[in-house]
Chains A and B, each alone.
Chain A
Amino acid sequence: MQAAPELEAFRHEVRSWLDENLSDEFRNLGGDAGPADDRDWDARVVWEQRLGEAGWIGLGWPKDLGGRGASILEEVIFHEEYAKAGAPARVSFFGEGLLGPTIVNLGTPEQKAKFLPPILAAKEFWCQGYSEPDAGSDLAGVKTTAVLDGDEWVINGQKIWTTFAHHADWCFAVVRTDPEAPKHKGLSYLLVPMDQPGVEVRGIKTIVGTSEFNEVFFTDARTPTENIVGEVNDGWKVAMATLGFERGTAFLGQQLRFEEEMRHLLAEAQKRGRADDPVLRDRLADAYARLRIMRFNGERMLANLAAKGVLGPESSIGKLYWSSWHRALGELEVAVMGPDAMVVGPGYEPNEFQHYFLSSRAETIYAGSSEIQRNVIAERVLGLPREPAVASK
């Protein structure tokens, strides 16, 4: 365990840097920092590059790979101060949060040298090519194929719900490299450049009216053979390792932002006189209580992590908890707004509360739906038997 003075020094360093660098043009850009929120994108990229120059990207990555080698507790402190300061929502979740740690842990030396520096500098952005039209929760059902042609993989198929594909330079994709092998055995994990004729990105207009999610079509798209993480046909393991990062600490910053959102809601309720309504009052207090408990859960998980060294499968409780909480908060937000919630701004521009009411419906679906989360908790944490598979070919 780190000594408190050491941590306080780190906190001071973070706070000072933010004080000096966070000018008003950047403050509070980009909303809830959810992995699917691309408001103010260009300005946020500029900000992210400043973070990179100052060494605040890849906090927990090893120093010899360009990271800061920060401890979990330091990461927590960084996220706390960052959220408190109202700094912009981060833009590099898929690169810094998912692909980066995957390369750090499972990549070759050449891959580390090629892919990590542009992530650390916020010069290259990534998207996650997992889901397909027929492979959502059942990820191992992907049909996109890759076949070797000389020293290149040739990729054909379609991905969907690909967040920020329209901003991405690269895609980490799960593809089928052995169609004869059993479902989980014939998959590989490829890194595919987006800027090529064989890749087409089409936005999907969502419930919010914006298009953060995309369809990505691969038509004879190509990537060099060395752009594979792990062994050929061993991609399932790599894909799951990546999801482990996603369900762990990556959402910390977002949870801290919820506190700001809660403050806004309480202020709005008081401004509108809605906090005197006994039912709304009860719901507001309940939302507040559950928010505090979300934080307690996170701190408890980190304390046990610090004591035992690894994140257990119980970390999947976090995703189910925060996504359910935030969805319920969205409903409460429009309840507090009352009839005003029925009217959006010109050009279908929702206000903060209307936006969360709508966008939070995605949160219980992406990154493992709440139903999948419950299966994972039941099977991996509680040890309940797996559901017998329905006979299929």
Chain B
Amino acid sequence: MNFAFSEEQVALRETVAQFLEQKSPSAEVRRIMETTEGYDPEVWRQMGEQMGLQGLHIPEEYGGQGYTFVELGIVLEEMGKRLLCAPYFATVCLAANAVMNAGSDSQKKELLPGIASGETIATLAFTEPSGKWDADGIAMTYEPAGDGFALSGEKMFVIDGHNADLIVVVARKAGTSGTEGISFFTVAGDAAGLTRTALETMDMTRKQAKLEFSGVPAELLGEEGSGWAALSKTLDQAAVCLSSEMVGGSQEVLDMSVEYAKVRVQFGRPIGSFQAIKHKCADMLLETESAKSAAYYAAWAAAEDNEELPTVACLAKAYCSEAYFHCAAENIQIHGGIGFTWEHDAHLYFKRAKSSETYLGDATYHRELLAQRIGI
């Protein structure tokens, strides 16, 4: 593990940062978040065609760029900084990984090139109304139907579920429980029997949907009944990706706080000269830098696909999520009254921090996973 980024990686960060500065300024974020779809198709197209971002970590043989989770982490960090409104996390960090982990070679050849080019918007539907993030949360069952299978049940909190052309669904064989009997399926976004309802999310920059399945025709992805290992890995990878994104947000709210503390004058001095504010900012820096270390290490473990991934994925998710939320909350406090308004961007980060902290399971949940995985 070398924590120092290569020149190529630094250049990638700069290129993506410049792109997002143009395409995802605050005004654009605010315009797009008011729409039901929650993304700009033109920007999405440019991300794929000009930047090759959707295929960044997908192997070249499946139409991608062949980079690793380290480069993906760099891109996500910049996206988190700019609150990019796009189905990128759902498509790349959830669906593409699920296909790569669970699918057969021919399924990868069929599904991944569309994702890599940006043509296919995809997502992963695994959580249900129970709101559980583990195997026990999967109650939806599948049944054989004709040549394939049919799905019935309800999925909740599905990121960009209302936008997806391709939905990777996790369901279990009737009569099984826990990690047994779990399978992946692919379903077309416009499949018969599928009712999609966009949810009004507190974090308006990241959209979710409720998906109701009533005998929806589905194709098995990978092997029947042995999907838990692939799902667990997919969730670990997603936790790593989300950690990278949260690090970017955390850096941004720290920067906002420091800038404001330098220019806001009260009692005849910049508020940043008061220790009460200084010490908040110092703690935010410590947490943000530590979150970076955790996220970078986790991205490396994911890139290597080594045996440390399960441990450091939940470690990073737990730490980064609490760091980001704390920094986003302190950012509001440091800004005072203006920080509590709709007009100021502080609430956008505060809400993204909370939705990211909650999604995939909060810090307490991930610390329990960590405890199990290190054998406490």
Contacts and interface: CB of A to CB of B under 8 A. Distances in A.
Given A296-B294, A300-B3, A382-B258, A387 B374 contact: no
Contacts of A290: 290, 319
Given A300-B3, A371-B279, A286 B318 contact: yes
Contacts of B269: 385, 388
B304 to A, nearest CB: 15
A383 B262 contact: yes
Nearest to A283: B367
A281 B319 contact: no
Nearest to A324: B286
9 contacts: A285-B368, A292-B294, A293-B290, A296-B293, A303-B4, A321-B290, A378-B278, A382-B282, A384-B278
Contact of A299 (B1, B262, B278): B1
Contacts, number: 125
Indicate the size class of the contact surface on chain A: 35 or more
A281 B368 contact: yes
B2 A384 contact: no
Contacts of A388: 269, 273
Interface string B221-258: 00000000000000000000000000000000000001
Interface in B271-312: 272-275, 277-279, 281-283, 285-286, 289-290, 292-294, 296-297, 312
B368 to A, nearest CB: 7
B364 interface: yes
B376 interface: yes
Interface string B1-30: 111100000000000000000000000000
B283 A317 contact: no
A382 B297 CA distance: 24
A324 B315 CA distance: 19
B370 interface: yes
Nearest to A376: B282
Contacts of A385: 262, 269-270, 272-273
B145 interface: no
A282 B282 contact: no
A317 B286 contact: yes
Interface residues of B, number: 39
B268 to A, nearest CB: 9
B376 A371 contact: no
A378 B279 contact: yes
Nearest to A321: B286
A281 B376 contact: yes
Contact of A275 (B261, B270, B297, B376): B376
Given A296-B293, A377-B286, A384 B281 contact: yes
A310 to B, nearest CB: 14
A381 interface: yes
A202 B90 CA distance: 66
Nearest to A386: B273
Contacts of B297: 296
B318 A382 contact: no
Contact of B278 (A269, A288, A379): A379
Interface in A150-209: none
A341 interface: no
B3 A299 contact: yes
B202 interface: no
A289 B297 CA distance: 12
Closest 6 CB pairs of A and B: A378-B278, A296-B293, A374-B282, A303-B3, A285-B367, A300-B3
A377 B285 contact: yes
Contacts of A383: 258, 262
Given A300-B293, A385-B273, A387-B273, A377 B282 contact: yes
Interface in A340-383: 371, 373-375, 377-379, 381-383
Contact of A269 (B293, B370, B376): B376
Interface centre among B3, B269, B277, B292 (most CB of A within 10 A): B3
B275 A371 contact: yes
B192 interface: no
Nearest to B318: A289
B195 to A, nearest CB: 38
Contacts of B281: 377-378, 382, 384
Contacts of B370: 285, 288-289
A374 B278 contact: yes
A2 to B, nearest CB: 12
Contact of A320 (B262, B286, B318): B286
B282 A373 contact: yes
A16 interface: no
A262 to B, nearest CB: 10
Interface string A259-277: 0000000100110000100
A281 B368 CA distance: 7
Nearest to A298: B293
A321 B281 CA distance: 14
A71 to B, nearest CB: 15
Nearest to A381: B285
B312 A266 contact: no
Contacts of A270: 376
